[in-house]
Each structure stands twice: as C-alpha cells, then as structure tokens.
Amino acid sequence: MDTLIHINRAAPDFGLPDLSGSMQRLAQERGRVVVLNFWSAECPWSDLLDQFLGSWLPAWGERVAWWSVAANANEPADLLVHAARQRGLPIVLQDTGHRVTDLYQAQTTPHVFVIDPQGFLRYQGAPYDATFRSPIPARHYLQQAVDAVLSGRCPDPSYTPPYGCAIVRFAA
C-alpha cells in the first residue's frame, strides 16, 4: 500500500473547526486514543458506524476521543448539525476544503484511522467487514484495533480496504 500516511508513523497534526466554529487540533488529544472517522451525514455506512461507536464509547471512556470529519462537499452545515445531534456525535469537524481528507487520503465514508496516545497511526481502513451483500458485520476491525491499542498491542490487521460511500469533493 503506497500512502502518505503510514502505519506505525506519526499521524499528521491538523486543525479544523467543529460545528460551532471552535478550532480543534489533533495534537490536543495526546494521551488519548483518537478514532478519526471520515464521515457523512447521508451515508448509511456512516450511520451504521455511528451506532456501533455509540455503544463502544462507554466501555472505552475518556481514554478514547471520537472525531468525525465531515468530508462531503454537498452536505450543508444544517444537515451536519442535525445528523450530529440525532446520532449523539461528540465532535464533528468541517473539512470544507478537503485539506485533511486529502492529507489522510480518505476514500470513503466511513474511512477510519486509529491514532495511539503518542500520536502514531496504528490502524486505517474499514470499521468492519460489512458490504452491500453482507450488511451485518461479522468482524469489527475498528473495535478490535482500539482494544488492541488500549492494551498496548499493535492491531492485527493494521490495514483493511475502506468500504462505504464515495467522498463527494465537488458540490453540484
């Protein structure tokens, strides 16, 4: 796999505004595991992941930060706010210029990255093994990756091909 973002290397720092306009920087989360989720308010695969993450977060507690990056150019701010509230998302960042989406080479929504407390990328790819033909996940790669990092281990696998809705880079 040829990417700018390599497993077991430092994840690039960035800053993006959240839905209230406050700037959030990745570096502010050092000391916690960060789940960086390239996200869509309209993608059913993102909605499915939001449901799973909502059930996993209580067990992980304050050790894990969950950041959703709104990656689609065609989704207006009011739609993002509505979906974030409805799904109980803690932080949704607006990447209107696709700077971070392109930096991380996110391909789909969802496309997840797990960053350890020291700022190193430990996993990237699909959150689970669900597909159009098999929509019920049998394996939760994201949950396994976060649990491994929280236990001081490297996730296995550390990469899976992302699966979901294509990221829309140009509004119609």
pLDDT digits (tens, 9 = 90+) for 126-169: 999 999 899 899 999 999 999 999 999 999 999 999 999 999 99
| Residue 9 covered by a domain | no
> Is the pLDDT assigned to residue 39 strictly greater than 70?
yes
| Residue 89 covered by a domain | yes
| Residue 172 covered by a domain | no
Mean pLDDT of the chain: 95
Q: pLDDT band at 172, cuts 50/70/90?
A: low
| Residue 55 covered by a domain | yes
Q: Residue 107 maps to which CATH number?
A: 3.40.30.10
> Is the pLDDT assigned to residue 40 strictly greater than 90?
yes
Q: What DSSP character marks residue 4?
A: S
Do you find a cis peptide bond into 76, omega within 30 degrees of 0?
Answer: no
Helix ranges restricted to H, the chain: 44-60, 77-87, 99-103, 141-150
Q: Residue 5's pLDDT is what? A: 82
Q: pLDDT band at 1, cuts 50/70/90?
A: very low
| Residue 22 covered by a domain | no
- Secondary structure (3-state) at 56: helix
Residue 152: alpha-carbon gap to chain centroid: 20
Phi-psi region of 147 (alpha: psi -120 to 50; beta: other; left: phi over 0): alpha
Number of structural domains (the chain) is: 1
| Residue 144 covered by a domain | yes
> Which residues constitute the domain of residue 101?
29-166
Record the pTM: 0.95
Q: Residue 4's pLDDT is what? A: 57
| Residue 68 covered by a domain | yes
> Is the pLDDT assigned to residue 116 strictly greater than 90?
yes
| Residue 112 covered by a domain | yes
Measured between alpha carbons, how far is residue 1 from residues 4, 92, 105, 159, 160 in Å? 10, 28, 12, 9, 10
